[in-house]
Amino acid sequence: MEQLAAFMLLVGCSPNADTCTEIPVPTPVYQSVEACQRDLPLQMRLSSTFDAKVVGTCQGVDTALLEKSATIDWTITRAGSLQVSVTPESNLVASR
């Protein structure tokens, strides 16, 4: 049985969303998606950014992934929402 955790991702964008950057959050990992979603509106308001638009999301992940390396890719859709994908990095070891 998988145990799920969640991480929060906030992104600040220019008015037309052509330039966006990640915004650091004080608590990036939560015990559940629900706990993350409860905290998301507050963290979006408290983000110390001068960006015209701040978007955020909570992404559920298997807790085992939190102890491994992974790549997090994100994009802002035309509708202005934040989409996130998480890809675990494989640890390939070459041997003879």
Kindly give the confidence (pLDDT) of every residue in the chain, 96 residues in length, as a single tens digit, with 9 standing for 90 and above: 466 899 999 999 988 878 899 999 988 889 999 999 999 999 999 987 788 899 999 999 887 776 778 888 999 988 888 999 988 877 655 555
**Residue-range domain boundaries for the chain:** 4-88
Sign, Cα dihedral of 24, 30, 32, 34: negative
- Run of H or E including 36: helix 33-46
46 touches 21 (CB < 8 A): no
Spell 44-79 as b/e; 16+ CB within 10 A means b.
Answer: beebebebeebbbbbbebeeeeeeeeeeeebebeee
Residue 89: predicted pLDDT = 79
